Chain A
Amino acid sequence: MTAAADSAPAPSAAVSVGRASMVFNAGRVNEVAALTDIELDIQPRDFVSLIGPSGCGKSTLLRLIANLLTPTSGEVFVNGKPAAQARLDQDYGMAFQQSGLFEWRSVRKNIELPLELKGWAKQRRADRANEMLELVQLPEFGDHRPWELSGGMQQRIAIARALAAHPPLLLMDEPFGALDEMTREHMQAELLRICAAAETTVVFVTHSIPEAVYLSNRVVVMSPRPGRITDVIDVDLGGERDEDTREDDAFYATITQVREALRGAEHDSGQPVRGVDDR
């Protein structure tokens, strides 16, 4: 990745995406323009959701930030460094829809995985794993196997693993997509508590409007192919978010605002909005 010194973002930004475009299979018949001219700045301690219909490139954008993909053009900075360096430095943790826990490892050893790869000493790893188990409120499950746990518990362990090295940034790709509605709402509240405790910046991919609104202080609305950002909506629900927030007028008003922004995105692209969840 080439970045002239003067184009580097202010060091205060947690994530800075500058005119990033992503084309898959460039020059071939199956060429797909997944993302076009993405500009996005995320400040430390922001909770930003990326929302849009299926195929709008929101997961691709997350993978550009994670440096799992390299943009065809444009640049991505994480913590003021090029994304590639940030990945090498493990400046972020990641969680997916499938918890992706390793079934042959105990819960504790799963949480320790990123620390092992960083070369931490055994005792330090064990201490941190205990701390993380406390944080996700599953202290008694350290020696269980992941497959002995429920889906929600597995996802909490995956979050503990993503945050084990105390990265300043957490990237999440529909982490609660496979959970039932009750568990999902519970996990959303848990995630806010955990991220507040760990002082983590979060980029969260979802196709659920209420989930995006409940969790975020900014919702980034994306249009389908070629994926672009059509709107950024600030969410102000005032004060602590709890179960009452879900019945708040401001909550509903913001949901409506996001939904209309998504319809606008649909109108712009001339394609119907699919795969966005009103739940």
Chain B
Amino acid sequence: MFFVALALVAVLWEVYKALGPERGGELFGSTVIPKTNDRVMPHTWEMLAEFFDPEVRDTPLVWEAVLGYAWFTFRLALVGLLLGTFIGVGLAVLMARFRIVERGLLPYVVASQTVPLIALAPQIATIAGNWGLPKWTWVSSLGAFLAFFPITVATLKGMKAAPPAALELMDSYAAGWWTTLIKLRFPTAVPSIVPGMKLAATASVIGVIVAEISTGLSGGIGKAALTYSQKATSEPAQVYTAVIGASVLGLALFGLVAGLEAVAMRHRPKEQLA
């Protein structure tokens, strides 16, 4: 099904390229539908062919390079996801434990998600430089910055889903708050946490790519996309190889979480699987 959909997208691209206006559609002087020339919309086969060109003269082929960049960014995004999960679950536990923390912190947690990452990244990179931390740690932490939010929300919701009878049962065992957390609330929350991690996985990829570009960290797919797009005149198809690379790495991280879900949920009733 995935490949059918992919082929369909390619067909739509080519159909629009063939039928759409060469100079794009303009409304009151601004372009509202894209131009169809080869610089803006290269043929899909040119994108594919681009993968097998050398990146620049006498270097490895583009697909090898893109794969390397994607792998680099994948690892940063994975670190971001793990860090975000850790922070997200920790915050949720803290909020569940102390109502006052939930009331005080939740507005800031929500506000944190609307802070423009691009504005934040260079400052953070400067601070990181002053602290002598390698740049990639801060790029990853910006992934975590976007990743922790869906996890906090999902964990909090999941922990509150423990049925009253189950809570009374733990009470009847004279189980303390932490015991109840570990034996009841946390397992109850797992079916919410895992979908939260799926959202967090894509958020982490976005955070890391944006951070790569705005901090100028090279070696990843973000910087590659920037470099390739600057060569749009000579090699218009090349930037799309980076776009495809970014999509593939996003899918890979999502797939990793889906695999984790299958493991975590293997003993649960099937209807809970999202």
Q: Which residue numbers of A lie inside 8 Å of B, CB to CB?
A: 63, 66, 68, 87-88, 90, 92-94, 96-98, 100, 102-104, 106, 113-114, 116-117, 145, 147
Tell me if A88 and B166 are in contact (CB < 8 A).
no
Which of A66, A68, A93, A100 makes the CB contact (< 8 A) with B163? A100
Tell me if B168 and A96 are in contact (CB < 8 A).
yes
Tell me if B168 and A68 are in contact (CB < 8 A).
yes
Chain A proximity mask over B231-246: 1 for CB below 8 Å, otherwise 0: 0000000000000000
Interface centre among A92, A97, A102 (most CB of B within 10 A): A102
CA distance in complex: A68, B166 (Å): 13
Tell me if A92 and B163 are in contact (CB < 8 A).
no
CB-nearest residue of chain A to B171: A68
Interface centre among A88, A100, A116 (most CB of B within 10 A): A100
Tell me if B168 and A117 are in contact (CB < 8 A).
no
Tell me if A66 and B267 are in contact (CB < 8 A).
no
Tell me if A100 and B165 are in contact (CB < 8 A).
yes
CA distance in complex: A103, B169 (Å): 15
- 29 A/B residue pairs, CB under 8 Å, sorted by A: A68-B171, A68-B172, A87-B174, A90-B173, A90-B174, A92-B172, A94-B168, A94-B169, A96-B168, A96-B169, A98-B165, A100-B163, A102-B166, A102-B183, A102-B187, A103-B269, A104-B190, A104-B267, A104-B268, A113-B173, A113-B183, A116-B183, A117-B173, A117-B175, A117-B183, A145-B267, A145-B268, A145-B269, A147-B269
Give B165 Cβ to nearest chain A Cβ, in Å. Answer: 4
CA distance in complex: A63, B184 (Å): 20
Give A63 Cβ to nearest chain B Cβ, in Å. Answer: 8
Chain A residues within 8 Å of B165, by CB: 96-98, 100
CA distance in complex: A117, B183 (Å): 9
CA distance in complex: A68, B190 (Å): 27
Give A86 Cβ to nearest chain B Cβ, in Å. Answer: 10
Chain B residues within 8 Å of A92, by CB: 172
Chain A residues within 8 Å of B172, by CB: 66, 68, 87, 92-94
CB-nearest residue of chain A to B186: A104
Tell me if A102 and B184 are in contact (CB < 8 A).
yes
The count of residues in chain B whose C-beta lies closer than 8 Å to any C-beta of chain A is 18
B179 close to A (CB within 8 Å) = yes
Chain B residues within 8 Å of A96, by CB: 165, 168-169
CA distance in complex: A97, B179 (Å): 24
Tell me if B190 and A98 are in contact (CB < 8 A).
no
Chain B residues within 8 Å of A102, by CB: 166, 183-184, 187
Chain B residues within 8 Å of A100, by CB: 163, 165-166, 169
Give A22 Cβ to nearest chain B Cβ, in Å. Answer: 16
Give B41 Cβ to nearest chain A Cβ, in Å. Answer: 50
CA distance in complex: A92, B173 (Å): 9
Given contacts A104-B267, A117-B173, A117-B179, 5 further A-B contacts (CB under 8 A): A93-B172, A94-B172, A98-B165, A113-B183, A145-B269
Chain A residues within 8 Å of B169, by CB: 94, 96, 100
**Among residues 9 to 44 in chain B, which have CB atoms less than 8 Å away from a CB atom of chain A?**
none
Give A62 Cβ to nearest chain B Cβ, in Å. Answer: 11
